[in-house]
Chains A and B, each alone.
Chain A
């Protein structure tokens, strides 16, 4: 039995909007083990975003337990949560969120600047390695405006990898990309998952994307509707190879 990265028990999250109480999550329990590639699916309003914020330690549950890599986040303060995010989570956003007019290398270095244990040589070395891992070794000095959408998202993935987190948390990471580039990103994710054993939690609303993962959790109205294992996920690399040659028109 491998190590549990995420452990969620009876998680509830309620928001008070004026006099009304909105119950976004109505009691969710699941665990994610090291090396899993989980997609969380659901239509809008299903509580997907709320769950993601809690998983990312940006928000805390109203009731219920959340253990990230064995740490109970309920007991942590704002600053400790920030540190936890820095050490254990790598975020990938739909809109990339790269710093404009900043080179790819400096963007990737960013999380390490908030980790005082890492020297500047180490930081530089790790950033270069992370860029290599996403196959952008030759784009160190390019700023986001000089990169394509797919390349920008790969820089963002490198930024998520650089702190050697226990989990990569992707929020609609392919939402802004065309299907070919989406498959490229998924191929990269699969590779990171398989060869480096990275645990990935990928939030999406596209069933097509979910088919690349080893497990899919379907949310509906703040509850888990379905939690299915997918023993034989599609290979994004193969899908990519079978795509017709780029349309020329």
Chain B
């Protein structure tokens, strides 16, 4: 019996019982459809969490002076003054995994406007800092590299400062005083809310770092260097690269400890990704169980079918079907059911993903691997659950099968 004939035989047998074949298929359709939809929803939510994290600057790297031993006494890192313009230049020239880089200095002080005043922090940074931290402007403009060169007395203002200094007015263009220096407000930051440690990220003024260094702090050192890796995947490489460049720049011997440390947001990303990863696994397991139930449905129907069609099997054997032919026929029927169910299930899964995105607005990502995998699984389901009934059929004695009532 050729493969083509086998398919004809199996197809004709299924055709005789279209409704039953369809109902059997339904289990597989639901199973495959739900696997695909669940994985897509899980992946979608993972991606959207990821995107939100990226908006918070998940590829951000922070360099800070490290604590160190100084004559046997441990000294806090922040009191060290090791990061300079030389480091920034070296990083800009040599680093390949880094896209943006900005030094950072900050000064605490009282911001004054007219009769109002408010204790806040002024952070001196390069214009690229806004990109690194994913800060955006609600209004106005940001300062430029030219402003950095001229140590311009301009600043961006956070929402908390606005609330306390400008309860009724538009702050753009106004001049406030910070540490006795007048600063013109040129832009308003979009609120960011609290960070993970409960600090108000909107209680801030942002100015060119040269301005803060020269006009307020009178220092040549930086407190931090912020950088962004090209993407999240290369944060490790970027960290290693920055460490090496900074060690070279600081002329550290190989036996000396780093006098700085590079930190990433990786921990945060990992925690949140693993939560949504767990969700995906959970959904997939539930959907996988329904696929198995679909498979058991096939097995059940195939067993019933073998018993019901005993005479047919006897007839087929008497006109020349070998045991193997009968086995293959029933196996082919089971696989045809499961594969057809699989195809419909894939389409249904994709359709329901589109509907979920359209109606509920949930992001969904249909991964090719989940389509391929569930398809392979359902073909295997057909073979696995179809095998035993098929074997039972193939072992019938034609004489008894022909007389079966």
Please give the residue numbers on chain A whose beta carbons come within 8 Å of chain B beta carbons, in ascending order: 53, 56, 58-59, 78-79, 82-83, 85-87, 91, 93, 95, 97, 99-102, 106, 110-111, 113-116, 120, 159, 163
Cross-chain contact B322 with A83 (CB below 8 angstroms): yes
Option from B2, B319, B398 in Cβ contact (under 8 Å) with A86: B319
Option from A86, A95, A99, A101 in Cβ contact (under 8 Å) with B320: A86
Option from A78, A100, A114 in Cβ contact (under 8 Å) with B319: A114
Cross-chain contact B320 with A85 (CB below 8 angstroms): yes
Option from A53, A83, A111, A116 in Cβ contact (under 8 Å) with B399: A53
- Closest Cβ neighbor of B315 among chain A residues: A97
List the 5 shortest-distance A-B pairs measured between CB atoms, nearest first: A86-B320, A101-B16, A82-B322, A111-B319, A79-B322
Cross-chain contact B323 with A79 (CB below 8 angstroms): yes
Tell me how far the C-beta of A203 lies from the nearest C-beta in chain B, rounded to whole angstroms. 14
Tell me how far the C-beta of B18 lies from the nearest C-beta in chain A, rounded to whole angstroms. 9
- Closest Cβ neighbor of A112 among chain B residues: B5
Residues from chain A with a CB closer than 8 A to the CB of B312 are 97, 99
Cross-chain contact B12 with A82 (CB below 8 angstroms): no
Tell me how far the C-beta of A115 lies from the nearest C-beta in chain B, rounded to whole angstroms. 7
Residues from chain A with a CB closer than 8 A to the CB of B319 are 85-86, 91, 110-111, 114, 159, 163
Q: In the complex, A106→B311 CA distance in Å?
A: 17
Residues from chain A with a CB closer than 8 A to the CB of B16 are 99-102
Cross-chain contact B320 with A83 (CB below 8 angstroms): yes
CB pairs A–B below 8 angstroms (28 shown): A53-B399, A56-B318, A58-B317, A59-B399, A78-B323, A79-B324, A82-B317, A82-B321, A82-B325, A83-B320, A83-B322, A85-B317, A85-B318, A85-B319, A85-B320, A97-B311, A97-B402, A99-B16, A99-B315, A100-B16, A101-B16, A102-B12, A102-B16, A111-B320, A114-B316, A114-B319, A114-B321, A163-B319
Residues from chain B with a CB closer than 8 A to the CB of A58 are 317-318, 398-399, 402
Tell me how far the C-beta of B142 lies from the nearest C-beta in chain A, rounded to whole angstroms. 75
- Closest Cβ neighbor of B8 among chain A residues: A113
Q: In the complex, A113→B328 CA distance in Å?
A: 13
Please give the residue numbers on chain B whose beta carbons come within 8 Å of chain A beta carbons, in ascending order: 1-2, 4-5, 8-9, 12, 16-17, 311-312, 314-325, 398-399, 402
Cross-chain contact A116 with B320 (CB below 8 angstroms): no
Residues from chain A with a CB closer than 8 A to the CB of B320 are 82-83, 85-87, 111, 114-115, 163
Cross-chain contact B399 with A114 (CB below 8 angstroms): no
- Closest Cβ neighbor of A79 among chain B residues: B322
Given contacts A82-B323, A87-B320, A159-B319, 9 further A-B contacts (CB under 8 A): A53-B399, A56-B318, A58-B402, A95-B311, A99-B315, A100-B16, A102-B12, A110-B316, A114-B325
Q: In the complex, A113→B6 CA distance in Å?
A: 8
Residues from chain B with a CB closer than 8 A to the CB of A101 are 16-17
Residues from chain B with a CB closer than 8 A to the CB of A56 are 318
Q: In the complex, A87→B399 CA distance in Å?
A: 19
Residues from chain A with a CB closer than 8 A to the CB of B5 are 113-114, 116
Tell me how far the C-beta of A55 lies from the nearest C-beta in chain B, rounded to whole angstroms. 12
Q: In the complex, A87→B5 CA distance in Å?
A: 17
Q: In the complex, A95→B402 CA distance in Å?
A: 10
Cross-chain contact A116 with B2 (CB below 8 angstroms): yes
- Closest Cβ neighbor of A56 among chain B residues: B318
With A85-B318, A86-B320, A101-B16 as known contacts, state yes or no: A113 contacts B399, CB within 8 Å.
Answer: no
Tell me how far the C-beta of B331 lies from the nearest C-beta in chain A, rounded to whole angstroms. 16
The residue in B2, B5, B8, B315 that gathers the most chain A C-beta atoms within 10 A of its C-beta is B315
- Closest Cβ neighbor of B9 among chain A residues: A113
Tell me how far the C-beta of B328 lies from the nearest C-beta in chain A, rounded to whole angstroms. 11
- Closest Cβ neighbor of B311 among chain A residues: A97
Cross-chain contact B1 with A106 (CB below 8 angstroms): no
Residues from chain B with a CB closer than 8 A to the CB of A159 are 319
Residues from chain B with a CB closer than 8 A to the CB of A111 are 319-320
Q: In the complex, A180→B243 CA distance in Å?
A: 104
